[in-house]
Amino acid sequence: MLENLQIGIETAITPHNLLWCFAGVLLGTIIGMLPGLGSATGVAILLPLTLGMEPVTALIMLAGIYYGSQYGASISSILISTPGDSSSVVLTLDGYQMARNGRAGAALAISAISSFVAAVVSLIGLMALAAPVADFALRFGPPENLAIILLGLATIVSFAGENMLRGIIMAAAGLLISMVGVASGFATARFTFGSVNLLSGLGFIAILIGVFAIGEVLHQIHRGGEKPIKATFRDLLITKSELRRSVAPALRGTGLGFGLGTLPGAGATLASFMSYGVERSFGKFKKQVGKGAVEGVAAPEASNNAAANASFIPTLALGIPGSGTTAILLGAFVIFGIQPGPLLFEQQPELVWGLLVSFFVGNLILLVLNLPLAPVFAQILRVPYSYLYPIILLMSLVGAFAIGNTSFALWVVFGAGILGYFMKRFDFPAAPMVLGLVLGPLLEKYLVQTSALGQGNLLILFHGPISATFTIAAIVAFVGPPVAGLIRRRVRAGKEIRETAKV
Partner 1 sequence: MTSKSEAPARTRPPTSDVVGTAILAAVGAFALVMGFGYGFLEEGGKVGPGFLPVVTGGFILVASLAEITRMYLTHGQRGGSLMDFTEDIEEEANAAIGQTADPETEGSSESTQQRDTFGRTASPRNRAIVKVFGILLAALLVMPWLGLLLSLTAMVLTVVLWVERKPLLPSVLMAAGALAGAYLIFVQALGVPLPQGALGLI
Residues 200-259 that bind partner 1 (CB under 8 A): 214, 218, 221-228, 230
Least distance (Å) between residue 170 CB and partner 1: 9
- Residues in a beta bridge with 143: none
Contact call for residue 33 and partner 1 (CB under 8 A): no
- Cα separation, 339 vs 317, whole angstroms: 11
Contact call for residue 165 and partner 1 (CB under 8 A): yes
AA letter at 338: I
Helix axes 267-282, 240-262, angle to 10 degrees: 130
- Interface with partner 1 (CB under 8 A), residue from 190, 200, 336, 462: 190
Contact call for residue 195 and partner 1 (CB under 8 A): no
Instruction: Give the SS3 label for residue 14.
Output: coil
- Cα separation, 332 vs 336, whole angstroms: 6
Residue closer to partner 1 (CB basis): 241 or 386: 386
Distance (Å) of CA 336 to CA 4, 59, 446: 22, 9, 23
B/e letters for 255-286, b = 16+ CB within 10 Å, e = fewer, are bbbbbbbbbbbbbbbbbbbbbbebbbeebeee
- Stretch of residues binding partner 1 (CB under 8 A), selected from 6-14, 131-139, 276-284, 363-371: 276-284
AA letter at 46: L
Residue closer to partner 1 (CB basis): 30 or 134: 30
- Cα separation, 392 vs 80, whole angstroms: 21
Least distance (Å) between residue 312 CB and partner 1: 23
- Cα separation, 376 vs 371, whole angstroms: 10
Contact call for residue 291 and partner 1 (CB under 8 A): no
Contact call for residue 124 and partner 1 (CB under 8 A): no
- Cα separation, 221 vs 36, whole angstroms: 10
Contact call for residue 371 and partner 1 (CB under 8 A): no
Contact call for residue 387 and partner 1 (CB under 8 A): yes
Residues 6+ apart with CB under 8 A from 497: none
- Stretch of residues binding partner 1 (CB under 8 A), selected from 67-75, 109-117, 248-256, 406-414: 406-414
- Cα separation, 434 vs 170, whole angstroms: 9
- Interface with partner 1 (CB under 8 A), residue from 122, 158, 325, 358: 158
- Interface with partner 1 (CB under 8 A), residue from 102, 141, 161, 375: 161
Contact call for residue 169 and partner 1 (CB under 8 A): yes
- Which has the closest alpha carbon to 321: 155, 180, 498, 484? 155
- Scanning residues 62 to 101, which ones bind partner 1 (CB under 8 A)? 80-83, 89-90, 92-93, 96, 100
Contact call for residue 405 and partner 1 (CB under 8 A): yes
Tell me how many residues contact partner 1 (CB under 8 A): 99
Least distance (Å) between residue 134 CB and partner 1: 27
Residue closer to partner 1 (CB basis): 277 or 464: 277
Contact call for residue 479 and partner 1 (CB under 8 A): no
Residue closer to partner 1 (CB basis): 372 or 480: 480
- Residues in a beta bridge with 190: 181
Residue closer to partner 1 (CB basis): 136 or 186: 186
Phi-psi group of 455: left, alpha or beta (phi > 0 → left; psi -120 to 50 → alpha; rest → beta): left
Residue closer to partner 1 (CB basis): 10 or 496: 496
Residue 401 CB coordination number (10 Å)? 17
- Which has the closest alpha carbon to 160: 174, 171, 176, 145? 171
Least distance (Å) between residue 447 CB and partner 1: 6
Least distance (Å) between residue 226 CB and partner 1: 6
Cα 501 → chain centroid: 47
> Which H or E run contains 189?
strand 189-190
Contact call for residue 311 and partner 1 (CB under 8 A): no
Residue closer to partner 1 (CB basis): 133 or 448: 448
Residue closer to partner 1 (CB basis): 340 or 399: 399
- Stretch of residues binding partner 1 (CB under 8 A), selected from 116-124, 164-172, 314-322, 346-354: 164-172
> Which H or E run contains 181?
strand 181-182
- Interface with partner 1 (CB under 8 A), residue from 13, 18, 183, 334: 183
Least distance (Å) between residue 217 CB and partner 1: 8
Contact call for residue 488 and partner 1 (CB under 8 A): yes
- Cα separation, 130 vs 315, whole angstroms: 9
- Stretch of residues binding partner 1 (CB under 8 A), selected from 59-67, 153-161, 250-258, 330-338: 153-161
- Interface with partner 1 (CB under 8 A), residue from 397, 416, 461, 474: 397
Contact call for residue 164 and partner 1 (CB under 8 A): yes
Contact letters for partner 1, residues 435-474 (x by CB under 8 A): -----x--xx--xx--xx--xxxx----------------
Residue closer to partner 1 (CB basis): 8 or 105: 105
Least distance (Å) between residue 140 CB and partner 1: 19
- Residues in a beta bridge with 182: 189
Q: What is the signed CA dihedral for 112, 35, 429, 51, rounded to 10 degrees?
A: -80
- Interface with partner 1 (CB under 8 A), residue from 376, 391, 501, 503: 391
| CA angle in degrees (0–180, nearest 5) for 325-331-334 | 150
